[in-house]
Structure 1
Amino acid sequence: MSVSQTTMDKLYGMRLSVMAQAYRDQEEVPGVADMTFDERFAMIVDAEWDGRRINKRTRLLRQAGFSDPEANVIDIRYDADRKLDKAKMVELSNCGWVKARRNVVITGASGAGKSWIACALGVAACNAFYSVRYVRMPEMLDELTVAKDEEWLKSKKRYTKCDVLIVDDWLLEKIRGEQARELLEIVESRLRTGSLIICSQFSPAGWHAKLGEGAIADAVIDRIVYRSDVIHIEGDESMRKRIG
């Protein structure tokens, strides 16, 4: 079988480069002359399909902006003093919670490994072809409390349109009323559009004081907690010392 250059040119012209290469590579496949048209065509389509999925996964991982893009759920440490439930972590890594639009709240002391586990779950979501965005809460609030221009709208869409939003350093300090209102808007929108992963040094019971104690605080906490899996990481030694 010899490939047609005209067909190759058309495939490249339609940006089907993987399919074009698979078409050319069939010249080297043993026994290709004995294959049916459907068998040869299926091989070419499979190559294009796989190539697009790989490219999509790569793009999702790049766009997520993880603080630790190499984090992987298979590398989670289950040291006895951390008191992590391995079965629960495996369940979360399967991303059923994303499909159900549930949240994950990860709490623990500074250095406990909250951010790393959040990124590991985020990477698992990207591998399942969900869109993810990682951001530190101070940076997000800075973006959302500036003048409401076109750039502000783009920023807000980044936090509301993705399947999973990871908010790190959640409520490290008390926030202002305007910030609390913008936070409520983000949380409210995510009820309809997707899931949250929140990393906090404080349990949800301690969020009220940081949010201002009023109705906005009640609304933010209620919208997050009622549909969340809460993971608390124990242990007195930080992960930096454990892996050092």
Structure 2
Amino acid sequence: MIQQTLTQLRELRLSGMANSLLSQIEQPATYEGLSFEERLQLLTDSEANDRENRKQQRLLKAAKLKLSAHARDIDYQHPRGLKQSVMASLLQCHWINKAQNLLITGPCGSGKTYLACALGETACLQGYSVKYYRISRLMLALTQAKADGSYSKALQNLAKIDCLIIDDWGLEPLTAAQRNDLMEIMDDRHEETSTIIMSQLPTDQWYQSIGDNTLADAILDRLMHNAHRIKLKGESMRKIQSNLTDGEHLE
């Protein structure tokens, strides 16, 4: 009968409950003193935890974060202008719940992508949907969506993401079509969902990088008016953390 119950639980996709029941069977001395209600509560708690863990893994897989970054590993000792109090607040993810944005600027190698991915991972663990794109890949995906007739659906999917991460903003000039795509994305997400932007360019150069004053005003107004900002500085962390000595570098 127990085996039949375990099979039925798994068929009903209650694997957490099934595993917990199996543990109770295999460790009778641990559980025999508990009441029926207490043992049932343990089963339901196990199922709830199992579902939460599976949801987190699904969100992390869907996010496709560029780096496996963790909040606990963020370096606050490197002199790059990163305030621990600011990160501590952002890692609470209240800004995502309020549909606010985050702009991270700084030189190449200052850790912009790592910070964004650490925030993305934390958001996934708290149940928010996240997706990482380099801006060139995002624009390419939308171009392909136009070609196969799925452009409207692609925009709808982007609009639903709780935290959209866009890397390498301003690295390459935008075409007219790409500027229009960005306008569509920012308009759909405005005050509905959150966006993280990373760029080597300071924000006062973003207007010029977009390339059209009218669209730049419209895009950046939606992006910047409720945005938190992190301005990193200093020498590249990649250079400092390099494991190669001068003698090991290939000529």
Q: Kindly provide the CA deviation profile for residues 62-111 of structure 1, in whole angstroms up to 9, marking residues without a partner as x.
A: 1101110x211222222353111110011101111111111110000111
- How far off is 1:192 after superposition? 4.7
Query: 2:29 & 2:241 partners in 1: Cα distance?
Result: 49
Aligned position for 1:82: 80
1:201-216 superposed matches below 5 A: 201-216=200-215
After superposition, give the CA deviation of every residue in 1:148-178 in whole Å (9 maximum; x if it has no partner). 5344344334422111000000121221221
Kept after mapping to 2: 8 A contact 1:204/1:225: no
- Asked if residue 72 in structure 1 is aligned to residue 56 in structure 2, the reply is no
Tell me, in whole angstroms, the C-alpha distance in 2 between the residues paired with 1:11 and 1:118.
39
Whether the aligned pair in 2 keeps the contact of 1:145 and 1:182 (CA below 8 Å) is no
Please list every run of 5 or more consecutive structure 1 residues that lacks an aligned counterpart in the other structure: none
Structure 1 position 181 matched with structure 2 position 153? no
The match for 1:197 is: 196
1:44/1:87 Cα in 2 relative to 1: closer, same or farther (>3 Å)?
same
Aligned pairs for 1:112-131 (under 5 A) are 112-131=110-129
What is the root-mean-square deviation of aligned Cα atoms in Å?
1.7
Q: Is the 8 A contact 1:133 1:158 kept in 2?
A: no
Could you tell me which residue of structure 1 aligns to residue 37 of structure 2? 38
Q: Distance in 2 between matches of 1:160 and 1:44?
A: 37
Unaligned runs of 5+ in 2: 243-251
Structure 1 Cα separation of the partners of residues 236 and 77 of structure 2: 12
Question: How far apart are 1:212 and its partner, in Å?
Answer: 2.2
Equivalent position SS for 2:190: helix
Of residues 209-218 and 123-132 in structure 1, the stretch that sits farther from structure 2 once superposed is: 209-218
Match of 1:13 in 2: 11
Deviations 1:18-46 (A, max 9, x none): 21121122121425333222101000011
Question: How many matched pairs?
Answer: 240
- AA partner of residue 168 (structure 1): D
TM-score of the two chains, using structure 1 as the length reference: 0.92
Letter in 2 for 1:220: I
The alignment-based identity, stated in percent, is: 36
